[in-house]
């Protein structure tokens, strides 16, 4: 790319400018200038300054690239059989994770990296420009460290999820497994991770175990996040608020007290509607959280078990159809909301100084993402790095 690029003839620009009066900071007939991978100028196309290169997007809509704050891309194999059984009536259970653990341990580093590359590219084609990637299918010191090393090759937003489920070798000794996670596994993982996560759910880890693991992670320089309240009511969301975590993910079953606590703590509730689609559970209400003043993010949770979609446009459409969110709220949640869930302000918005990660839709407005579900509307994705 030349030194400066003018992107012009933008029919609708979603800027997510926090100082705008409307949620999305919408502008029509807009333009923006990109310099050195950053947005240098945003304004009316008629006032645009000269640039070295001009890209005319033909009155299409331009959005910040999607920020997918929750994925599990380091895995081998798939669980199509499990999905088939589920749509025939079986319930989703956390134990299926162990099937993927066995396949992942048996895979080579090269195969794991090739799988991540394939899925990141698939995400890119659907408009995702920032992705968080978790470990959690290794569950040994070496396999968790290697999963994070592989993930680091694709993103800085890496999350140590040794506490996904108790490793099969420790089935009779969950306390011993927590000691392993908070000891040698954390030590090996920490250099490759920014975040630490725990699946706080019946069948995985309880609140005391999760607290212990998150505190150990924090002492090792990692920031905490949680999988919680996915399969039923439980203590995870309240724990996330108690610990002041940046985000708590799933939030399918929340009590009124949970919602209040999240709002008070300023913890982002990350909703993963692809999971409810795939597990056939009830959808959480985005409306209830938004009306209570909770910040909501939408992410894919792309993984081979509970949700094998990499598509944030699909998740946006589900949020609008099934979770009471407006198209604007759903688009915000998948861009600025995802950025908030990763404590980032340089992505998820297109304002001077932000990263020039942007999506050109083959459509005149962001509403089409929900209005035309399943249609590949992303015409072009630009990534600043």
Q: Name which position in 12, 301, 329, 357 contacts Fe ion (CB under 5 A).
A: 301
If binding means CB under 5 A, how many residues of this protein chain bind Fe ion?
A: 1
CB of 22 to Fe ion, least distance (A): 32
CA dihedral (107, 309, 268, 235) in degrees, to 10, reads -70
Q: Is residue 251 part of the contact set for ligand NIG (CB under 6 A)?
A: no
Q: What are phi and psi of 43, to 5 degrees?
A: 180, -165
- HSE-up of residue 45 (Cα within 13 Å, Cβ side): 17
Q: Name which position in 11, 273, 305, 327 contacts ligand NIG (CB under 6 A).
A: 305
Q: Is residue 298 part of the contact set for ligand NIG (CB under 6 A)?
A: no
CB 77 within 8 A of CB 100: yes
Q: What are phi and psi of 345, to 5 degrees?
A: -120, 0
Of 166-174, 290-298, 302-310, 372-380, the segment contacting ligand NIG by CB under 6 A is 302-310
Q: Is residue 237 part of the contact set for ligand NIG (CB under 6 A)?
A: no
Of 296-304, 311-319, 338-346, 347-355, the segment contacting ligand NIG by CB under 6 A is 296-304
The contact pattern for Fe ion, residues 167-206, with x = CB under 5 A and - = no contact, is ----------------------------------------
CB 178 within 8 A of CB 209: yes
Residue 45 DSSP one-character state: G
Of 12-20, 104-112, 251-259, 300-308, the segment contacting Fe ion by CB under 5 A is 300-308
Task: Closer to ligand NIG by CB, 27 or 227: give it.
Answer: 227
CB of 213 to ligand NIG, least distance (A): 15
CB of 296 to ligand NIG, least distance (A): 17
CB 370 within 8 A of CB 334: no
Q: Is residue 217 part of the contact set for ligand NIG (CB under 6 A)?
A: no
SS3 of residue 270 by DSSP: strand
CB 95 within 8 A of CB 280: no
Beta-strand runs (E) in the chain: 4-13, 27-35, 38-44, 53-56, 61-64, 66-68, 128-131, 133-134, 158-163, 195-200, 223-228, 247-250, 268-271, 296-298, 358-361, 378-382
CA gap 383, 315 in Å, rounded: 21
Q: From the CB of residue 121, how many other CB atoms can be counted at a distance below 10 Å?
A: 11
Of 3-11, 18-26, 92-100, 340-348, the segment contacting ligand NIG by CB under 6 A is 92-100
Q: Is residue 310 part of the contact set for ligand NIG (CB under 6 A)?
A: no
Task: Closer to ligand NIG by CB, 61 or 247: give it.
Answer: 247
Q: Is residue 16 part of the contact set for ligand NIG (CB under 6 A)?
A: no
Q: Is residue 69 part of the contact set for ligand NIG (CB under 6 A)?
A: no
User: Which residues are near ligand NIG by CB under 6 A?
Assistant: 72, 96-97, 100, 199, 227, 230, 275, 301, 303-306
Residues of the shown chain interacting with Fe ion in the complex, contacts defined by CB under 5 A: 301
């Amino acid at each position: 790319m030349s030194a400066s690029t003018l992107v012009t003839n933008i029919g609708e620009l979603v800027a997510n400018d926090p100082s705008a009066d409307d949620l999305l900071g919408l502008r029509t007939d807009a333009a923006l200038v990109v310099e050195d991978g950053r947005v240098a100028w945003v304004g009316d196309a008629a006032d645009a300054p000269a640039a070295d290169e001009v890209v005319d997007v033909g009155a299409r809509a331009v959005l910040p690239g999607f920020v997918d704050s929750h994925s599990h891309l380091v895995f081998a194999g798939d669980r199509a059989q499990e999905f088939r059984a589920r749509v025939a009536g079986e319930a989703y259970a956390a134990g299926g994770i162990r099937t993927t653990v066995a396949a992942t341990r048996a895979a080579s580093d090269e195969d794991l990296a090739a799988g991540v590359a394939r899925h990141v590219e698939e995400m890119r084609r659907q408009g995702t420009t920032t992705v968080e990637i978790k470990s959690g299918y290794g569950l040994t010191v070496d396999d968790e460290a290697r999963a994070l090393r592989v993930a680091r090759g694709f993103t800085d937003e890496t999350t140590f999820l040794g506490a996904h489920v108790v490793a099969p070798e420790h089935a009779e000794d969950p306390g011993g497994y927590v000691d392993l996670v908070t000891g040698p596994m954390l030590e090996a993982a920490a250099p490759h991770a920014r975040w630490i996560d725990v699946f706080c759910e019946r069948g995985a880890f309880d609140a005391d175990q999760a607290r212990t693991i998150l505190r150990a992670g924090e002492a090792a320089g990692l920031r905490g996040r949680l999988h919680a309240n996915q399969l039923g009511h439980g203590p995870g969301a309240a724990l996330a608020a108690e610990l002041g975590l940046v985000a708590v993910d799933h939030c399918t079953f929340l009590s009124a007290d949970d919602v209040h606590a999240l709002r008070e703590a300023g913890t982002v509730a990350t909703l993963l509607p692809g999971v409810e689609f795939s597990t056939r559970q009830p959808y959480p209400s985005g409306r209830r959280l938004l009306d209570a003043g909770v910040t909501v993010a939408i992410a894919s949770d792309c993984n081979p078990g509970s949700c094998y979609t990499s598509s944030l446009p699909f998740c946006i459409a589900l949020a609008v159809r099934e979770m009471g969110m407006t198209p604007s709220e759903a688009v915000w949640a998948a861009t600025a909301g995802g950025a908030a869930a990763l404590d980032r302000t340089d992505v998820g918005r297109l304002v001077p100084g932000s990263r020039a990660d942007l999506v050109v839709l083959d459509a005149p407005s962001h509403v089409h993402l929900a209005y035309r579900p399943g249609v590949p509307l992303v015409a072009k994705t630009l990534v600043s790095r």
